[in-house]
Amino acid sequence: MPIDNERTFDLLVENAMGFMKRSLADLSKPEDGLKYAVINFYTAIELFLKARILKEHWTLIVSPSKASLSMNKFLVGDFKSVSFEEIKDRLKETLNTPLKKDVVANIDKVRQHRNKMVHFYHPDYKNEKDEIIADQMEAWHDLNRLLIGDWKDVFSEHFSDINEMHNQLKTKYKPYRARYYKEQYDKIKGTLTNAEKCSYCGYEAVTKEIINITKDISLIEYRCRICRDYSVELQASCPHCRKTIIIPELYDNFVCPKCDKQISYNDIVNEISPPSYDHHDLYSGDYYGCSSCGHTDSVVPMDDGNYFCTCCFSIYDSMDTCEWCGQTSNAVGEYSGLEGCDFCDGNPEWNDLSS
């Protein structure tokens, strides 16, 4: 019997929803309620991530540590599935949709709470209830952003259930999170200088960091020390009037507030890397592509050796060229001739062609 991938995917998502609902119900129960709320919550998070991977191919959610890969065993659930480490690796290397560093950190916090619950007796956890629930809320926010954002094409059939789940979690978790944020703020408020008010949680806890792209262009990162909300903007001189301006991320033909002329990411590309820059000789005149925003020519080298997307402001540490389509970008895997990159589908006969 062949595997019906669509059906298996739907069942996996429904299973994830089931664990999430169970986790919510457990939270209201006395005694061991919190323990099961944590365990079921983390199980749900992993199942959503596994569903994303399964959509690509069922074999990808079977752990490579198990020697044989049997379709019959998979169908009856007799296999060891991928660990969180392997999930991160698959998303990055095989699917080219890596989890961002802060997303990994947020999920990992929840994973550690869960490990404490299942691996040994942990008598103090009830005192940490507010913190645990606040951490779960951040991890859910990150996952929800992926499900309805970057991965929207994969999960679109389940949007209404995901949305309902989101609202339930928000309502139920709110008081725990409010108490925990207050406690955190009381701890750090004396240490914050020049912090700005966070539009998300309301605390004056947003600190800023400046990253120099070139000597005249800098990225300004804002991070809330309480809720970890994050945003970014670019400070540059307007290519037309040369006055200093602030450009928001993912802009599309931004209008300079000083001279009213339009600015596109191509203008910023030329500001950072004039056409005479020698990477043109290296890669036959092409600029580089960005998988986050999908442009083929928005990425330029930075002075420090990293690469900067002038549209979505992502920073990458390396670029590779796809063996099949020739596009240079951050999203080229090991077998690009065969599997393609984010900008092409590759060629199934690549191995015959290239041998």
**Residue 289 CB, nearest approach to Zn ion (Å):** 8
**Residue 134 CB, nearest approach to Zn ion (Å):** 12
Nearest residue to 217 (alpha-carbon basis) of 263, 253, 259: 263
* DSSP alpha helix (H) spans, 199-342: 265-272, 279-282, 336-339
Residue number, 207 or 218, with CB nearest to Zn ion: 207
**Residue 29 CB, nearest approach to Zn ion (Å):** 30
Residue number, 58 or 265, with CB nearest to Zn ion: 265
Dihedral in degrees, nearest 10, Cα atoms 345, 98, 264, 283: -60
Nearest residue to 343 (alpha-carbon basis) of 332, 353, 352, 351: 332
Residue number, 240 or 280, with CB nearest to Zn ion: 240
Nearest residue to 130 (alpha-carbon basis) of 182, 87, 79: 182
Residues at the interface with Zn ion (CB under 5 A):
198, 200-201, 224, 226-227, 229, 238, 240-241, 256, 258-259, 290, 292-293, 309, 311-312, 314, 322, 324-325, 340-341, 343-344
Residue number, 48 or 324, with CB nearest to Zn ion: 324
Q: Are 197 and 204 in contact (CB under 8 A)?
A: yes
Q: Are 51 and 12 in contact (CB under 8 A)?
A: yes
Is residue 332 exposed (0-12), middle (13-18) or buried (19+ Cβ within 10 Å)?
buried
Residue number, 23 or 298, with CB nearest to Zn ion: 298
Token duo for residue 236: 């540059």
Dihedrals phi, psi of 222, to nearest 5 degrees: -110, 130
**Residue 255 CB, nearest approach to Zn ion (Å):** 9
Residue number, 53 or 309, with CB nearest to Zn ion: 309
**Residue 61 CB, nearest approach to Zn ion (Å):** 25
**Residue 179 CB, nearest approach to Zn ion (Å):** 15
